[in-house]
Homo-oligomer: A and B are copies of this chain.
Amino acid sequence: MTKRILLAAVAALALPLPALAQTHDAAALRDAALKDDLAWDITEGLTTEVGQRLAATEAEARARAWAVKKLTALGFRNVHIETFKMPLWERGIETAEVLGASSQKLAIAALGNSGSTGPKPIEAEVVFFPTFADLQAAPADAVKGKIVYVGNTMTPTQDGSQYGYFGAARRAGPNIAATKGAAAILIRSIGTDHHRNPHTGVTSWTQGVKPIGAAALSLPDADQLERLLKRGPVKLRVQITAGMKGEAESGNVIADVPGSDPSAGIILVGGHLDSWDLGTGAIDDASGVAITTAAAKRIMDAGQPKRTIRVVWFGAEEVGGFGGTAYAKAHANERHVLAQESDFGADRVWKFEVNLPEGAKPIADRLATVLSPLGISRGRSTAHGGTDVGPIINTGVGVIDLSQSGLRYFDYHHTPDDTLDKIDPEQLRQNVAAWTAMLAVTANAPEDIGPIPKGEGE
């Protein structure tokens, strides 16, 4: 105890007085946020009253209206929708069936941007690639006319880093298979659970490549297919009628907590309003908009901050980050000093990392002080933001990552199982406390938070 008190005293002495006062305010706001009910209220309301809200659909438009009503009722200023046009992708029929002596259905879900197998089911033999690299290395004549299956298996990690690594099979596998003449592609879901709910997610096609039918098998179905493949050749009947349905409207919902010093710049926080069409998007990403909104509301209610805090509920993140791109374009003339998003569920924040300009580095030390009691340590890397704030960060804006535990995130991610019951109210509150503390420190920081020169920052 003695040592801790001494260290605290030393830390306090090192802070300029206004910054010290802010840290104390931030601590009080942080502790009050551990009793937060607003984030739950938003998450419950959005997922219950709107349900799924696939980008550019009528459901996503309903979600925007819901957001405007909620943000206005909460007292935010300048609440409005900024629409944009984008291509609409829709799911259709999606069936897969083993033919022959072991005739049986397999559970699949089309990947976002999947093409169609045509008006009738296709029948073809499966060619099995245990890893994404095997598909990359395969000669075209081993793939042509076949149904590609990629086994590629991820495991749970706290930092979620295997999603990036193994997710390549989903993001890029279909394009490679199409290039080599595959009839269709099935992948093992990019997920970590053991349920018959396949994980969808976006895939991309390079210019000139005609999209083929591309779907994920649930993890038990992927196991089943691999057991059958061990016994001999497998022929499947597959139908996927997904595809692009022309241009449609999506939009971002924006709400401000105006700051007392407009020249000090905007601190942007948010998450995405759209979800995949399979679940109700509770962890992806109702909880993200809820956490950041609840935190901003707490700062607003504690008295006007120095900097404007802007809350953005981004549209159309899942299918290609359209909302983040549209926001950055529409608001290029405003001075943003920090931009961060919550888009990794609602489990505990365990780590924070920053990317701050030289003069603003003391902010990170104060964050460490105020976040530590929540069980949050400082990570060793540089913050990188996410899909929605990426475009604005790329203009030279600082970022703080509050990293959530990903250990069970990929059990539910992009599946029908992304529903409210997966949210732990206590961990959700810890998130609100972390974001409240972060905003209390940054919105009132006496330091100027300047732009980040390209290739710099910590």
Interface residues of A (CB under 8 A from B): 44, 48-52, 59, 62, 98, 101-105, 107, 194-197, 219-220, 223-224, 227-228, 231, 279-280, 415-417, 419-422
Does B49 contact A231, Cβ atoms closer than 8 Å? Answer: yes
Q: Which of B224, B228, B279, B416 contacts A419 (CB 8 A)?
A: B224
A419-B196 Cα distance, complex, nearest whole Å: 9
Q: How far is the CB of A228 from chain B (nearest CB, A)?
A: 6
Q: A49-B101, A195-B417, A196-B419 are known contacts; what are 17 more A-B pairs with Cβ within 8 Å?
A: A48-B102, A48-B227, A48-B228, A50-B104, A51-B98, A62-B101, A107-B416, A194-B419, A194-B421, A194-B422, A196-B279, A196-B415, A197-B197, A220-B419, A220-B420, A223-B419, A224-B419
* Nearest B residue to A223, CB-CB: B421
A278-B220 Cα distance, complex, nearest whole Å: 13
A407-B279 Cα distance, complex, nearest whole Å: 27
Contact A196-B197, Cβ < 8 Å, known A51-B104, A220-B417, A224-B419: yes
Q: Which of B224, B280, B416, B420 contacts A280 (CB 8 A)?
A: B224
CB neighbours (8 Å) of A196 from chain B are: 197, 279, 415-417, 419
Does A220 contact B421, Cβ atoms closer than 8 Å? Answer: yes
Q: How far is the CB of A247 from chain B (nearest CB, A)?
A: 23
A98-B280 Cα distance, complex, nearest whole Å: 13
A196-B422 Cα distance, complex, nearest whole Å: 12
Copies in the complex: 2
CB neighbours (8 Å) of A227 from chain B are: 44, 48, 420
* Nearest B residue to A197, CB-CB: B196
Give me 18 A-to-B residue pairs in the complex whose CB atoms sit less than 8 angstroms apart, sorted by A's number: A48-B102, A49-B101, A51-B102, A51-B104, A59-B103, A104-B280, A194-B417, A194-B421, A195-B195, A195-B197, A196-B197, A196-B416, A196-B417, A196-B419, A220-B419, A220-B420, A223-B419, A223-B421
A224-B415 Cα distance, complex, nearest whole Å: 16
Q: How far is the CB of A110 from chain B (nearest CB, A)?
A: 16
Q: How far is the CB of A233 from chain B (nearest CB, A)?
A: 14
Contact A50-B420, Cβ < 8 Å, known A196-B197, A196-B279, A197-B197: no
Q: How far is the CB of A404 from chain B (nearest CB, A)?
A: 19
CB neighbours (8 Å) of A219 from chain B are: 421
CB neighbours (8 Å) of A49 from chain B are: 101-102, 228, 231
Residue picked from A62, A195, A224, A416, most chain B C-beta under 10 Å: A195
CB neighbours (8 Å) of A220 from chain B are: 417, 419-421
A224-B223 Cα distance, complex, nearest whole Å: 31
Q: How far is the CB of A446 from chain B (nearest CB, A)?
A: 45
Q: How far is the CB of A304 from chain B (nearest CB, A)?
A: 35
* Nearest B residue to A50, CB-CB: B102
Q: How far is the CB of A310 from chain B (nearest CB, A)?
A: 29
CB neighbours (8 Å) of A197 from chain B are: 195-197
A279-B52 Cα distance, complex, nearest whole Å: 26
CB neighbours (8 Å) of A102 from chain B are: 48-51
